[in-house]
Structure 1
Amino acid sequence: MSPEALSELIFNIANTLISEGKAGQLTAEQLPAADKFAVMRPKDRAHGDWASNAAMQLAKKAGMKPRDLAELFAGELAKTAGIKSVEVAGPGFINIVLDSSAAAAVVDQVLETGTKFGHNDHLKGDTLNLEFVSANPTGPIHIGGTRWAAVGDSMARVLEANGAEVVREYYFNDHGEQINRFAKSLVAAAHGEPTPADGYKGAYIDEIARRVIAEANADGVDILDLPRIDGGLNDDGEPLGEGDSAQREEFRKRAVPMMFAEIQHSMDEFRVKFDVWFHENSLYTDGKVEKAIDYLRQQGDIYEKDGATWFESTKHGDDKDRVIIKSDGHYAYFAADIAYYYDKRHRAINPADIAIYMLGADHHGYIGRMMAMCAAFGDKPGENMQILIGQLVNVMKDGKPVRMSKRAGNVVTIDDLIDAIGVDASRYSLARTDYNSPVDIDLNLLASHSNDNPVYYVQYAHARSCNVDRNAAAADVSYVGADLSLLDTEADGEVIAALAQWPSVLAQAGDLRAPHRIAHYLEDLAAAYHKWYNVERVVPMDTAEQEARLDEEAAKELRIAKNPEPARAAARLKLNDAVQKTIANGLDLLGVTAPDHM
């Protein structure tokens, strides 16, 4: 019996007690929703399979002592099929012990639903636009963007498992001063000149400059002979911007798509797929900036002052008003933010009910103005717009920070991390920590094959379960017709209880935008499985193997699991396969493989 089923049962019992006049002053209108009745795993298994504080939640409203109300719940729960016993403890906790067959029913549920075990539809009907990574096209993706790639893609998978329609979006910052600095850096590199003071450094700049020259030459363009003097016309016959030149424009035009292709390739290698690659520049070329500003002007949220155009964001909770068109006629960066949000909410295809922005630690000061802009469009800040701020990543080796990138200078890139520890370890280690907290990536640990390495620990549990299957097949052990009531040992119960928690963990991970909860759950399940594997047998050992294991295990002061009778072996094999399926499902949500050998 799952915690969700018990929560529903407690809710129904509460209604019954109210209708029978046994719940004091409590009324049906005062009851929380069924899923708000907490059912948790006791820290001490001696206290039962599950525990609830429902009586303590309701006692004050009922005008009753918590223990008295708990006794009423306990009496009704004890009548339920599948519940072996119920006890009231402490100030009013309800401790529940399931009979072994009811406890093991989750095993059948896992194997019957397969990859959909734990999935639900409670976010169905919502289209969530999830924007993550969104690095500038001026260099390789650094470690901060790599964290967002791992967290964002995992979050999208978790939200979809909870029924949401998710649009994965990459915002390509291809407009503005950073692109100009990128182009200037390339021109300087092409001529063997020092990097401009505000330019970009790293071997990749020289590499991109060489590729641009080669591409231009192949097209019959001697790019280095183009004028470097400011002014002139671009390919469309339009005047170049102030401080620009024909040569810089040519480098920009060719280099930005190259970086764009590199970023797409890196994301593909990292198993991250985007539904939309949105170009910031299109907000200007397609007139979307003007359209969004005109809408706010009609709402009375735009005014002119000191030759500039302002968004009156203080009307909507910001600490100060914001310039959106500067006195020189150029757009401030916030103008693009306004247009981008408006575009997300009003697209012809997949308009966002909820726009989730995943931003770096240096963007915390943007939250006020963004939420004010959301409110100005008539939306609910924190609901239609949600902003997640990620913290820093430190890459460590031998206890010291490392700067290992030869290509990008003094930063670690996504490709550096993949080369060092692989995609699985990279994704898992970045997604397993709450994005609100800084994270240290220990390269030595994550490259090791030890139980201290969390991704290895979880993957090894899956590989170990696959080995059990191979051994069972060789020994003609099958779980067809298995009697799950035979899963009655303490170790069996620990694994079964861990499996039963998966649906609620998955729902919480979606509601709280917390994919790290998936990793923590997998580690707990793997721990229960490894312990179970060491004390229980699925496939009987022959005499020689038993003697060899006895010597090995006796040296470790561990007991030898007894050979099971055929019926118990079948039940345990079924439990083994339920663990295997659940670990594979969880790893897939994190974009990590589930190997069958290690």
Structure 2
Amino acid sequence: MTPAALAELVRTTAVDVLSARGLDTSVLPEVVTVERPRNPEHGDYATNLAMQVAKKVGVVPRDLAGWLAESLADQDGIDSVDVAGPGFLNLRLAADAQGQIVREVLSNGAGFGRGDLYAKLRVNLEFVSANPTGPIHLGGTRWAAAGDALGRVLSAQGAEVTREYYFNDAGAQIDRFVRSLIAAAKGEAAPEDGYGGDYILDIATQVTEAEPGALDQPAEQRHETFRRIGVGLMFEEIKQSLHEFGTDFDVYFHENSLHLSGQVAECVETLKASGHLYFDENAWWLRSTEFGDDKDRVVIKSDGDPAYIAGDIAYLRDKRSREFDLCIYMLGADHHGYISRLKAAAAALGDDPAVVEVLIGQMVNLVREGTPVRMSKRAGTVVTLEDLVEAVGVDAARYSLIRSSVDSAVDIDLDLISKRTNENPVFYVQYAHARLSSLQRNAMSLGIERGDVQNADLSLLTHEREGDLIRTLGEFPRVVRSAAQLREPHRVARYLEDVASAYHKFYDACRVLQPGDDQANPLTIARLQLCEATRQVLANGLGLLGVSAPEQM
């Protein structure tokens, strides 16, 4: 019996108990909270339902808890129910009901943990979106890992997710990038406001090889040549780096297209007509304070050029025209102001601000022996995605960037995540999966067939460590659901570490394969089923993180 099934059993029992006494059943929550107590002596699961609703129906919480306990104790799958404190219910499952979790895992296979919380919800998930003026730095790398994992988690809850990269190919930064390329091609130092690093010379060289006469062209034509070829080369390199990192996008949206197509100008005129733009100090301003922003924002500057927010507004409008129900933006630590301004933009367009969600990611620091690491060979002043992957590999890089909440800064210890020991979280989880895969191979080499889980006697799994592992596996659907609801894929990583810990403790306490046995006994088969269920959950969870589940290490 999974936690979800137990919660539903508690609720239906509560409906019967209240109805039998003529009490109002409408006070019951749609979903009853059932949790695993920190102290195993308090039972397998606990609920505070009696304390939640007793006052609403005019009874004493312990009395209601007692009625519920008496009725629940008679239900199939329940071994015992105790009332604790002011009205907590502590429940213990019967061994066969607990074994049902193993059956559910293996029956659903790769689908275990998936749900329909966001069925048919169309989500536009925009992340990374680094300017094509250099390699992806650590902040963008964190979004590449966490954003891709969030997309997987949302998809696992039924959402139709489109991963989108906003290609910033317009504006002053691109001009500085192009001027830097031209300077490098001429053998000159980078402009004062330009970009440095070996990668600039690499790309400049490729531009002149592709267009040998580029430097001899008139200034305007030369600038366009270096912009067209150089930005294209840089962006192709970014896409290739992301692909090798396991992060691919469905849409690469060009910012410049919003200006060339007239969408920005059209959007500005629409806002003027609606009265949401006003003219002051030779500029056009969005009345964003009317929608919760801390100040009004310039949309058209005094020189007549659109401000950056003009493109943002047109971009949001374009997303909504593509019929996305929810637009999630994953932005860097210096973009806090975008939360209110994007929501204000949605409101000014006549939309519900709730269609916009902005997630802000914090900084990532690499450390070795407690000292910050600066190791970029190409970018010079920043650590890039390639630097991190070269140092520790894709799996360790992704996992270490996902396992902490993105709204908190994180220090990544290169020494730690390079170790092939249980101190290294990604190794700890992957090793558990490899160990479980090896166990199944060993069983087959001994001629032991695990068989159909439906025929296994899982009621034999009564050891404390078996029960703890089974109940941990049963939490997976709830973990995935909460990770999707809260936009926190790190919850999956931390959960997998709990699974690996529970498994290692089980393996140390409970022998699975008996040495020298020619004939496997029913307990052996039951434990093999439990082991396979554990392997399946680890594989499913690692898949949601975009991290491999190796069969041997």
TM-score, normalization by structure 1: 0.90
Change (3 A) 1:386 1:18: same
Aligned to 1:401: 372
Aligned to 2:386: 415
Deviation at 1:320, TM superposition (A): 1.7
Match of 1:430 among 401, 411, 417: 401
Alignment of 1:403-552 (within 5 A): 403-480=374-451, 481-542=455-516
Deviation at 1:274, TM superposition (A): 0.6
**d(CA) in 1 for partners of 2:263 and 2:428?**
50
1:140 aligns with 2:112: no
Aligned to 2:98: 103
Deviation at 1:59, TM superposition (A): 2.1
Alignment of 1:147-226 (within 5 A): 147-217=142-212, 222-226=213-217
**d(CA) in 2 for partners of 1:40 and 1:100?**
18
Structure 2 counterpart SS, 1:171 = strand
**d(CA) in 2 for partners of 1:564 and 1:389?**
57
Match of 2:27 among 27, 30, 38: 30
Letter of the aligned partner of 1:116 in structure 2? G
1:33-59 alpha-carbon deviations (Å, 9 max, x no partner): 12xx21111112121111111111112
Aligned to 1:232: none
Structure 2 counterpart SS, 1:369 = helix
Match of 2:87 among 64, 85, 92: 92
Alignment of 1:188-267 (within 5 A): 188-217=183-212, 222-228=213-219, 245-267=220-242
1:16 aligns with 2:16: yes
- Structure 1 stretches lacking a partner, 5+ long: 229-244, 544-562
**d(CA) in 2 for partners of 1:56 and 1:380?**
37
Counterpart contact for 1:477–1:569, Cα < 8 Å? no
Counterpart contact for 1:477–1:539, Cα < 8 Å? no
Letter of the aligned partner of 1:327 in structure 2? S
**d(CA) in 1 for partners of 2:263 and 2:36?**
52
**d(CA) in 1 for partners of 2:484 and 2:519?**
40
Structure 1 counterpart SS, 2:336 = helix
Letter of the aligned partner of 2:547 in structure 1? V
Deviation at 1:17, TM superposition (A): 2.5
Alignment of 1:265-344 (within 5 A): 265-344=240-319
Structure 2 counterpart SS, 1:361 = coil
Letter of the aligned partner of 1:434 in structure 2? S
Aligned to 1:596: 551
Counterpart contact for 1:83–1:99, Cα < 8 Å? yes
Counterpart contact for 2:118–2:157, Cα < 8 Å? yes
Counterpart contact for 1:203–1:409, Cα < 8 Å? yes
Aligned to 1:364: 336
Aligned to 1:376: 348
**d(CA) in 1 for partners of 2:3 and 2:272?**
52
Deviation at 1:432, TM superposition (A): 0.6
Deviation at 1:564, TM superposition (A): 10
Counterpart contact for 2:338–2:358, Cα < 8 Å? no
Match of 1:119 among 109, 114, 121: 114
**d(CA) in 1 for partners of 2:475 and 2:375?**
41
Counterpart contact for 1:203–1:408, Cα < 8 Å? yes
1:475-517 alpha-carbon deviations (Å, 9 max, x no partner): 2222223211111101110110001111111110111111000
Counterpart contact for 1:540–1:564, Cα < 8 Å? no
Deviation at 1:248, TM superposition (A): 2.0
Letter of the aligned partner of 2:217 in structure 1? L
Deviation at 1:298, TM superposition (A): 3.0
Counterpart contact for 2:448–2:520, Cα < 8 Å? no
Deviation at 1:22, TM superposition (A): 5.6
Change (3 A) 1:44 1:201: same
Letter of the aligned partner of 2:380 in structure 1? G
Deviation at 1:28, TM superposition (A): 2.9
**d(CA) in 1 for partners of 2:359 and 2:456?**
47
Deviation at 1:594, TM superposition (A): 0.4
Structure 2 counterpart SS, 1:378 = coil
Deviation at 1:327, TM superposition (A): 1.4
The CA RMSD measured in Å over matched residues stands at 1.4
Deviation at 1:439, TM superposition (A): 0.9
Deviation at 1:371, TM superposition (A): 1.3
Deviation at 1:541, TM superposition (A): 1.8
Structure 1 counterpart SS, 2:259 = helix
Percent of matched pairs sharing the same residue: 52
Letter of the aligned partner of 1:375 in structure 2? A
**d(CA) in 1 for partners of 2:169 and 2:48?**
54
1:57 aligns with 2:52: yes
**d(CA) in 1 for partners of 2:390 and 2:40?**
44
Between 124-133 and 43-52, report the one with greater CA deviation.
43-52
Deviation at 1:323, TM superposition (A): 1.1
**d(CA) in 1 for partners of 2:471 and 2:342?**
43
Deviation at 1:565, TM superposition (A): 6.4
**d(CA) in 2 for partners of 1:306 and 1:46?**
71
Alignment of 1:37-52 (within 5 A): 37-52=32-47
**d(CA) in 2 for partners of 1:318 and 1:417?**
37
Deviation at 1:319, TM superposition (A): 1.9
**d(CA) in 2 for partners of 1:102 and 1:15?**
22
Change (3 A) 1:564 1:307: farther
Aligned to 1:239: none
Counterpart contact for 1:431–1:515, Cα < 8 Å? yes
Aligned to 2:525: 570
TM-score, normalization by structure 2: 0.97
